[in-house]
Amino acid sequence: MRTKTTAAGVLSAACALALSACSAAPAPSPVSDDRPLVDKKNWPKPIPDSGLAKGLVLPLEEYATPYAERVEWDEANRILQQKCMKDYGFTVELPRAGVNPPPNNNEANIERRYGITDRAQAEKYGYALPPALQKHTEQKLPDLPGIQVEALTGHTKPAPPKADPDAKGGVSLGISPPSKPARAEINGKKTYAGGCVGWAKDSLDAPDPDHFVVAELLGNSLTESRKSPEVKKVIADWSSCMKSKGHTVADPYKAMEQGAPVSGTATKESITLAVDDIDCKDSTGLVKVWSDAEKKIQQRQIKDNQAKLDKVKQGRTKAAKAAKAVTTG
């Protein structure tokens, strides 16, 4: 059974279609003609190729969906939704996927899983992300007329939020009246249950990539690893090293909190803290000790959850194959 999709939900979910293309960012910039809308050079690398995390891969990453696969899945849905809309006589340009990439390839966030790890970046940006990852390209969302919303979602376009007549100044409650099912036919063509969004997913004939199972296990393994004697010791050693450099911080996460730039631009002090942070990680071997401890935990997790993880991997493989057939077809 498909979950009921409201017009408002799908139109706002166009942001999700583009993988955070519409999320809040410090400095949104319009699409320009002098740079590609989707620039793969800024996409996160599958495996870090610099810093203390260079070449580091955790066992559970075998089951996590890489960013490139997520983009292809979202792009395949976009292509099919637009094709479906065209069949109704509507030319609609929905937001592209892969425009505003995250800094991490998957839920492991390996580059910063144990705090920052790249000294070359720290020397320039402190704890801030590189400028290319702070930029946010703003894609214009189509304000579809009601009939097109029905075709896209299978439901009517929500009415504006009602105002509270008893409130001072008629303050809006921010609640839209519920949507209704779309008309049975649009331009002589039967309306799909779930609209073109539902039709696109059905056409792919593959499950949405499951990020939750692996993400939960990754969260559990990180939490458990922090309690291990070897990790506790190496964090204490790192903290002592930091103290010798004039910084009082209990663990790498506290250092990130302390050094996080307020304006998005690193200060001289935060750069010094970041560089010392990485140097202390290097001298104490923190990244290797911590990742080795977590690898052991994840190997046990995989054994305990093998059937569930195999199902996730099979679904991911099927989704990737279905998406590629659409994007390259």
Per-residue pLDDT averaged across 278-298, rounded? 98
Q: What is the pLDDT of residues 141-166, one digit of tens each?
A: 889 999 999 999 999 988 777 666 65
For the segment 114-129, the average pLDDT, to the nearest whole number, is: 96
E strand or H helix at 137, and its extent? strand 135-138
> Rounded mean pLDDT of 72-97?
97
Higher pLDDT, 134 or 238: 238
| pLDDT over 90, % of the chain | 74
Dig out the tokens for 61 from the structure: 């990453």
Q: Tokens 């994007």: give the residue.
A: 327
How many angstroms separate the most distant Cα atoms in the chain?
Answer: 76
Q: In this predicted structure, what is the pLDDT of residue 169?
A: 56
236 backbone dihedrals φ, ψ, rounded to 5° = -65, -40
Give the distance from CA 30 to its chain's centroid: 21
The whole-angstrom separation of Cα 7 and Cα 156 is 6
CA Rg, the chain, in Å?
Answer: 24
Residue 115 has φ and ψ, to the nearest 5°, of 95, 180
Query: How many other C-beta atoms can be found within 10 angstroms of the C-beta atom of residue 179?
Result: 21
Question: Which has more confidence, 200 or 8?
Answer: 200
Bridge partner list, 138: 30
Q: Phi and psi (nearest 5°) for 326?
A: -80, -45
pLDDT at residue 177 in the model: 72
- Round to whole Å and give the CA distance between 47 and 283: 23
Comparing CA positions, the residue from 317, 315, 322 lying closest to residue 79 is 322
Helix/strand/coil (H, E, C) string of 174-213? CCCCCCCECCCEECCEECCCCHHHHHHHHHHCCCCCCCHH
Token pair 């002098």: residue: 34
Residue type, 115: G
Q: What are the φ and ψ backbone dihedral angles of 28, each rounded to 5 degrees? A: -60, 140
Structure-token pair, residue 171: 């303050």
pLDDT, tens digit (0-9, with 9 covering 90-100), for 11-20: 333 333 233 3
Average pLDDT, the chain: 87
Which pLDDT belongs to residue 16? 32
How confident is the model at residue 50, as a pLDDT?
A: 96
pLDDT of residue 21: 30
Question: CA 231 to CA 221: how far, in whole Å?
Answer: 12
pLDDT in tens, 306-320: 999 999 999 999 999
Check residue 26 and give its pLDDT: 40
Q: How confident is the model at residue 172 (pLDDT cuts 50, 70, 90)?
A: low
From the list 102, 191, 105, the residue with the least C-alpha distance to 148 is: 191
Work out the average pLDDT over 105-119.
Answer: 97
Range with the poorest average pLDDT among 4-8, 122-126, 167-171, 173-177: 4-8
More confident residue, 3 or 80: 80
pLDDT at position 165 is 61
Give pLDDT tens digits for 18-73: 333 333 334 444 444 456 789 999 999 999 999 999 999 999 999 999 999 999 99
**What is the pLDDT, as a whole number, of residue 210?**
85
Dihedral angle, C-alpha 144, 149, 153, 159, nearest 10 °: 110
Render the burial of 8-39: b for 16+ CB within 10 Å, e for the rest: ebbbeebbbbbbebbeebeeeeeeeeeeeebe
pLDDT-derived band at 171 (thresholds 50, 70, 90) equals low
